[in-house]
Structure 1
Amino acid sequence: MTNHIIFDMDGVLLDSEPMHQQLIYETFQEKGIPFDKFYIETLTGMSAYPMWEKVKHDAARTETVEELMQFHRDYFFKRLPEIQVPLVPYVKEVLEKFKAQGKHLSLASSSPRKLINIFTQQTGIDSYFEVIMSGDDVQYSKPNPEIFLKVAQCYNLPPAQFTVIEDSTNGIKAAKNARMQCIGFDNPLSGGQDLSAANKRIQTMKELL
């Protein structure tokens, strides 16, 4: 493993994928969008704009992408006060170990920065990361490598010096497209994700200890 490690957030640091998928499903129901939870699993790892662009196309909706995004965001933040998202088991221990070893830790998530700040502060892990890159900071979503390459640019280092830890098909593809090493975390709560392109796969964060 390299000395620079990039963590995805949802499904890697936080067991939040079921919450996100459920709220997307509820948004679909509110809007009368006839897609099921299997369809929603294919959206895992995408940031808001490309996700709703795809939904708009697939469901032949007349609203703009921005209108769909805003409806989802309003619904999400209306529900947020009642949501408590747990850390993935052993994540805190892994972060402590890597810090003690002098590794440089970053977070790169397709979620909005506001949400990243809320959840990382709520769970007490925000101080572990030297760089935090959000979906708000990039033009293109995973599987495009832009978010990971931007982290590398912050350190002025080549991508080959980074290891990404991801739980989604789109995230794995983005890491490989960035020419970075990638560990695939097989989180059962993330749905049926294809992690076969990862350099290594783990079933639990405890394996990193």
Structure 2
Amino acid sequence: MIYSAAIFDMDGLLIDTERVCMEIFKQTCKDFNLPYLEQTYLNIIGRNEAGVEDLLRASYGENMDYPVFRKQWKQTYLNIVENESIPVKDGVIDLLNWLQTQNTPMVVATSTNRQLALKKLAMAGLSNYFSAVTAGDEVVNGKPDPEIYLLAAKRLNINPSMCIAFEDSNNGVKAAVSAGMQTFQIIDLVKPSEEIKALGHGIYTSMNEVLIKLKQ
């Protein structure tokens, strides 16, 4: 495998935030007397703010007062992630350290807005590994559109085909593969569908497995 840079998603891949967000969503549904629609929730993982809103409005319709629901869900989530260090996913530090020894430039491409992404990385002690962050509020089209990955590669001045991309969600994988990157999917909450498996990318259960693959 030949590559010149590594691009990482953040939530559910580097830090274990997706489970926190899901549990808060479930509780918010209870507070608003709404059912927890598991498949709908899993489908929003990896999307930016606009994509999340579109899917939730489509699924819940008039039963959900989206602005009020979103405000409570988001504020409860922020109260946690802005004040507590969320655990780093297994194998992440070893992989980042190894890539550093290989002098591989590393950047983040996350659907999270830039300000919050920077804070999450800092709270997790990961900021110094990355030379740049490309965030969800810096693109028009969120994942699964490849725009965010193409922007990250452009900022590195590296052809997308020379980048390896790391993702956990199906939406993120679609984005990275569509951008022409060599893609690794490390499964978190969302299992790859048959459609995603057909993309032919690498699918792993942890970063430890990815590191073994890269060292070969």
**Displacement after TM superposition at 1:74 (Å):** 2.4
CA contact (8 A) 2:40 2:55 kept: no
Pair 98,185 (structure 1): closer, same or farther in 2 beyond 3 Å? same
Contact 2:81–2:120 under 8 Å retained in 1:
no
Distance 1:5-1:203 versus aligned 2 partners, 3 A rule = same
Task: Report % sequence identity.
Answer: 24
Matched-pair contact (CA < 8 Å) for 2:40–2:59: no
Question: Separation in 1 of the partners of 2:160 and 2:92?
Answer: 24
Deviation string for 1:114-152 (max 9, x for gaps)? Answer: 322222111211011111011121121110111101101
Query: 1:161 corresponds to which residue?
Result: 162
Question: In structure 2, what residue type is equivalent to 1:201?
Answer: I
Q: Which residue of 2 aligns with 1:202?
A: 204
Contact 1:167 1:193 in 2 (8 A): no
Q: Quick one: distance in 2 between partners of 1:78 and 1:201?
A: 33
Conserved? CA contact 2:4–2:158, under 8 Å:
no
Runs of 5+ unmatched residues, structure 2: none
- Residue in 2 aligned with 1:191? 190
- Further displaced range: 133-142 or 56-65: 56-65
Give the superposition deviation at 1:97: 0.8
8 Å CA contact retained: 1:7, 1:164: yes
The structural deviation recorded for 1:51 is 0.6
Relative to structure 1, the CA distance from residue 24 to residue 48 in structure 2 (aligned partners, 3 Å threshold; closer, same or farther) is: farther
The residue type equivalent to 2:205 in the other structure is Q
Change (3 A) 1:171 1:123: same
1:171 corresponds to: 172
Alignment partner of 1:117: what SS?
helix
Equivalent AA in structure 2 for residue 14 of structure 1: I
1:5, distance to aligned residue in structure 2 (A): 0.6
Structure 2 Cα separation of the partners of residues 91 and 179 of structure 1 = 23
Counterparts of residues 90-169 of structure 1 (less than 5 Å): 90-169=91-170
User: Which digits, 9 at most, give the CA deviation of each residue in 1:2-58, with x for residues without a partner?
Assistant: 121101111211122111111222222333332333431121111122112211122
Distance 1:34 1:64, change over 3 A: closer
Which segment drifts farther, 118-127 or 28-37?
28-37
After superposition, the Cα gap between the structure-2 partners of 1:82 and 1:104, relative to the gap in structure 1 and judged at 3 Å, is: closer
Partner Cα separation in structure 2 for residue 30 and residue 83 of structure 1: 24
**Is the CA contact 2:6–2:165 (under 8 Å) kept in the aligned structure 1?**
yes
Equivalent-residue separation in structure 2 for 1:143 and 1:46 (angstroms): 7
Residue 12 of structure 1 contacts residue 166 of structure 1 at CA under 8 Å; is this kept in 2? yes
After superposition, the Cα gap between the structure-2 partners of 1:65 and 1:157, relative to the gap in structure 1 and judged at 3 Å, is: farther
Q: Which shifted more, 71-80 or 45-54? A: 71-80
Amino acid at match of 1:96: N
Relative to structure 1, the CA distance from residue 200 to residue 192 in structure 2 (aligned partners, 3 Å threshold; closer, same or farther) is: closer
Q: CA deviation at 1:82?
A: 6.5
Matched letter for residue 90 of structure 1: G
